[in-house]
């Protein structure tokens, strides 16, 4: 375990270096930040003075080394638009995004396991075929279209749920405000969570179904049936445990990437999270905020991968974690 953690730390450092380098390199292609800062009426001399002040005329290597040195101290730059540290802006938006991901994850896990197991046990039933057909449709429909349809049906036509914003949130601590502590908060987060879950739910159902069907053909399941063990115990204790091993590996990583997938969902529902903030930063050419967002999302992805591998090792003790990290 210790050897594995050491390897993962070095891998994480290498990955974060590459992410920071790529994120920093693309900022010159996003546009001129001075256009948003000072407009068109400022003379070229003043523009050049501002560029020198901001260090925009320095070489790429000089700018990156300055950025990397500050980043190691927790300084990812200052947002041009918000006039405050980019990391602080992201931390204020992070709780909204994480709660949206948590809501979607609850829906995915709560539905995919029983539905996937059922379709594996009864693969030829009408309900299983219907689920498989709907899962193909679910994979094919982009999330923004699902979100728009949900808003039209449940907000515009019936008025059951609000179509934008977080509603009444309850302050927990620091930057963290939660939707899960009020009924109004729940009503606001439900539709975005379902829309975000629609990306992964069909994938999880099909993955669990495929793995479960394979496990049900194994010798130890046949032996358990021959011994007269109750079917529900075979399915949900013996078979499901082995089914979840690959699901944890693939599914855990996919849930981690949902942090990045929230961009479209947050935009459609005007959800005040990191994804919506990122698109606004791109429109404003707020390069420090864009680079900081890419680094934070990359860091979340790296941490998620490590946690998933650790959980996999705990669920399946026969796995050599040190070898996995090689």
What percent of the chain is predicted at pLDDT more than 90? 6
DSSP 80-115: TTT-SBHHHHHHHHHHHHHHHHHHHHHHHHHHHHHH
pLDDT for residue 194: 92
How far, rounded to the nearest angstrom, does the alpha carbon of residue 264 sit from its chain's CA centroid?
Answer: 12
Q: What share of the chain in percent tops pLDDT 70?
A: 88
Question: Over 50: is that where the pLDDT of 266 sits?
Answer: yes
Rounded to an integer, the average pLDDT of 304-318 is 69
- Higher pLDDT: 210 or 59? It is 210
Residue 50 pLDDT > 80: no
What tokens were used for 15?
A: 């990955």
Identify any residues that bridge with 178 across adjacent strands, giving them in sequence order: 170
Q: Is the model's pLDDT at 134 over the cut of 70?
A: yes
Per-residue pLDDT averaged across 62-88, rounded? 84
**What does the pLDDT average to over 10-38?**
76
Residue 190, pLDDT score: 92
Structure tokens at 304: 């998620």
- Inform me whether the pLDDT recorded for 208 exceeds 70: yes
């Amino acid at each position: 375990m210790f050897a594995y953690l050491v390897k993962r730390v070095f891998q994480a450092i290498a990955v974060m270096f590459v992410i920071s380098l790529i994120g920093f390199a693309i900022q010159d292609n996003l546009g001129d930040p001075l256009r948003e800062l000072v407009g068109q009426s400022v003379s070229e001399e003043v523009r050049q003075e501002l560029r020198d002040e901001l260090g925009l005329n320095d070489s790429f290597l000089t700018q990156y080394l300055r950025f990397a040195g500050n980043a190691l101290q927790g300084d990812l730059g200052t947002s041009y638009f918000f006039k405050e540290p980019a990391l602080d802006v992201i931390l204020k938006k992070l709780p909204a995004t994480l709660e949206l991901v948590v809501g979607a994850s609850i829906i995915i896990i709560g539905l995919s396991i029983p539905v996937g197991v059922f379709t594996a046990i009864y693969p030829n039933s009408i309900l299983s075929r219907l689920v498989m057909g709907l899962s193909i449709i679910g994979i094919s429909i982009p999330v923004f279209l699902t979100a728009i349809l949900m808003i039209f049906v449940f907000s515009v036509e019936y008025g059951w749920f609000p179509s934008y914003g977080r509603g009444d949130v309850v302050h927990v601590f620091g930057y963290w405000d939660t939707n899960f502590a009020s009924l109004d908060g729940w009503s606001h987060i439900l539709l975005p969570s379902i829309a975000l879950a629609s990306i992964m739910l069909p994938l999880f159902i099909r993955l669990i179904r495929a793995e479960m069907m394979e496990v049900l053909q194994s010798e130890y399941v046949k032996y358990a049936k021959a011994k007269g063990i109750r079917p529900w115990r075979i399915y949900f204790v013996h078979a499901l445990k082995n089914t979840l091993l690959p699901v944890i590996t693939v599914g855990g990583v996919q849930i981690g990437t949902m942090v990045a997938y929230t961009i479209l969902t947050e935009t459609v529902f005007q959800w005040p999270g990191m994804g919506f903030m990122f698109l606004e930063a791109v429109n404003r050419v707020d390069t420090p905020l864009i680079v900081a967002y890419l680094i934070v999302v990359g860091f979340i992805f790296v941490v998620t991968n490590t946690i998933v591998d650790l959980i996999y090792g705990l669920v399946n003790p026969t796995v050599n974690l040190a070898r996995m990290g090689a």
